[in-house]
Amino acid sequence: MSRELEARVCPSDAGYPRGVSKGISYRVREFQQRVSRSLITMAGGALRSNNAPTQLISIPGSEQQLSQRHARSVIDLCLRAGEAMLATGASAADVVATVLRISTAYGVSGMHVDITFTSLTVSVHRGMNEDPMSIMRIVKVRTIDYTRLQNVYWLIDQITGPDGPGDVDETREQLGAILTTPHPYRRWVVTAGKAILAAGVVVIFDASFVLVLVAAASAAISDLMTRRLGLWSVPAFFAQMAAAAVTTAIAVFMFWLRSVGIEIPGSNSPTVIVIAGIIMLLSGVGLTASASDAIGGYYVTATARGLEVIMMTLGLAVGISIVLSISLRLGIPVAVGDSLGESRSLISGMVGSAIIAVGFALTSYVRLRLLPLMAIGASLVFAVYWVVLPSAPEPGLAPALAGTAAGVISYLLYRWLKVPEGATNMVGIIALLPGLALYRGIYALMDSEFGVNEALPAMVMALATGLGLAAGTTIGGFVARRTFGFDRSAMLALRRSRTPR
């Protein structure tokens, strides 16, 4: 480098001897390079992330050395608890979160859970020196027993409580005792609950006392038939179809009596009998659980539950359409009452919703002392629906808002009394199930050769109402968890169960 250039780069070196001047210029160039590297590092740091991933791709494997007996005992306990929840309609995310809470409480942190509609698989990594363990359990039974599920929740809270879990073998025996305990009341009470549920639907539409009795009787007959077909191992689709056909045949018989001049006092709207039967038969379908699984990211389970909803609804449609087709061919003047949708009032709706809540609680084996709470909650949900309906006439919007209220109430009852959220959710929304829209769509489909075009609006309304109710209950539960709090262990487990899939 020439002296003139050195003087321009570092003018202060110009008067120094040549060796000293080179040393100063070298330090200047080194300083410039450090500054340049610092600027590049700062620019790269603004783009590159040096932190941990925001979403875990998988749960890290555990290096803890677990004994085979302890791992098997914990896995068996987790599988039994998960099976009990899945069989009674709990969402997949809640089942996985519960299983992870139990395993963490017993010191098993490297557990992986895979869940489908009919199976539950648990895998534990026991370190590099031990073989992993994977066990799958098939969920063979689908039942509704919220008393049993409530006892399971109490046991899980005891396991994950501040006092710590007890011996795993004793806890498994307690869980086994819960799952094998007889129902809290006899089977005829369940049939009476179905009759009460159907009667409550008729009360909502402000129909006569005669139709209330006829709807209750038809619901009892349908329940007995469905139970008998189940004992004969008849598929649920055909059992649903037969029950819907019986209920519709009773309503058609009342239409025929009116056509021949035999007028039964108070039987001016036999259509409500069919609507009550539709709502009664749809009450056990896991609509809300399907939506919750889809929102939580468990699409396989959500698809299976949704297909079950579709098949059971198609069973209803086929049973009703067969009877309607025969009656129309025979010339029986069957019709859909035009006053059904407008005759609902706030008082009759709240009273009918309370009756429906009591009926459903009996059919799902809810503890008797919880019946008043169920009735009050269902009345409040219907009141929300009745208030928001004039300002939210769009299909599915008012049911979604009412479903949100049901989700909030359900979570609060779960936190305070450990009442299963699914029970309170279904109690709150049963009165709002689209029985009338579904029946109108089926009737329009069978009434004329252009029935598809006429039935489409009613079917869209029914679908929008069902999806609105399901989405509303799910959102309501989520908002309640964020607003009113969730214990730390449950929140961590729920976060692990909702990792991307």
Look at residue 49 in the predicted model and tell me its pLDDT.
60
pLDDT band at 338 (very low <50, low <70, confident <90, very high): very low
Q: Summarize the confidence of residues 137-151 as an average pLDDT.
A: 83
Do 359 and 193 contact (CB within 8 A), yes or no?
yes
DSSP 55-81: S-SSPPPP-----HHHHHHHHHHHHHH
What's the pTM? 0.79
* Mean pLDDT, the chain, whole residue set: 80
Look at residue 258 in the predicted model and tell me its pLDDT.
84
* H helix runs in 10-145, sequence order: 18-47, 68-87, 92-105
* Sign for the pseudo-dihedral over CA of 77, 80, 82, 88: negative
Look at residue 189 in the predicted model and tell me its pLDDT.
93
Rounded distance between C-alpha atoms, residue 212 and residue 193, angstroms: 14
Which value, to the nearest 10 degrees, does the dihedral of the CA atoms of residues 231, 190, 273, 451 take?
A: -50
For residues 229 and 501, the model is more confident at 229
Rounded distance between C-alpha atoms, residue 115 and residue 296, angstroms: 13
Q: Summarize the confidence of residues 76-96 as an average pLDDT.
A: 84
Q: Residue 5, CB half-sphere, CA atoms under 13 Å: how many?
A: 4
- Residue 61 clears pLDDT 70, i.e. is over it: no
- Residue 9 clears pLDDT 50, i.e. is over it: no
- Determine what percent of the chain is predicted with pLDDT higher than 70: 80
Bridge partner residues of 120 (DSSP): 115, 137
Q: Which amino acid is at 160?
A: T
Least reliable range by pLDDT among 33-42, 194-203, 291-300: 33-42
- Residue 341 clears pLDDT 50, i.e. is over it: no
Q: Residue 275, CB half-sphere, CA atoms under 13 Å: how many?
A: 30
Least reliable range by pLDDT among 351-365, 426-440, 474-488: 474-488
Query: Which pLDDT tens digit goes with each residue over 215-274?
Result: 999 999 999 999 999 889 899 899 999 999 999 999 999 889 888 888 777 777 888 888
- Cα angle 262, 263, 267 (rounded to 5 degrees) comes to 135
- Residue 339 clears pLDDT 50, i.e. is over it: no
- Cα angle 75, 76, 81 (rounded to 5 degrees) comes to 100
Rounded distance between C-alpha atoms, residue 194 and residue 363, angstroms: 6
Rg for the chain, CA atoms, rounded: 32
Taking every pair of Cα atoms in the chain, the longest distance, rounded to a whole number of angstroms, is: 130
- Residue 431 clears pLDDT 90, i.e. is over it: no
Helix/strand/coil percentages in the chain, nearest 5? 70, 5, 25
Do 344 and 193 contact (CB within 8 A), yes or no?
no
For residues 454 and 199, the model is more confident at 199
pLDDT band at 6 (very low <50, low <70, confident <90, very high): very low
The Cβ of residue 449 has, within 10 Å, a number of other Cβ atoms equal to 5
Look at residue 495 in the predicted model and tell me its pLDDT.
57
- Residue 7 clears pLDDT 70, i.e. is over it: no
Backbone torsions φ then ψ of 14, nearest 5 degrees: -65, -30
Backbone torsions φ then ψ of 118, nearest 5 degrees: -120, 5
pLDDT band at 478 (very low <50, low <70, confident <90, very high): confident
- Determine what percent of the chain is predicted with pLDDT higher than 90: 19
Which value, to the nearest 10 degrees, does the dihedral of the CA atoms of residues 189, 194, 200, 206 take?
A: -130
Residue in the structure block whose two tokens are 């009613």: 458
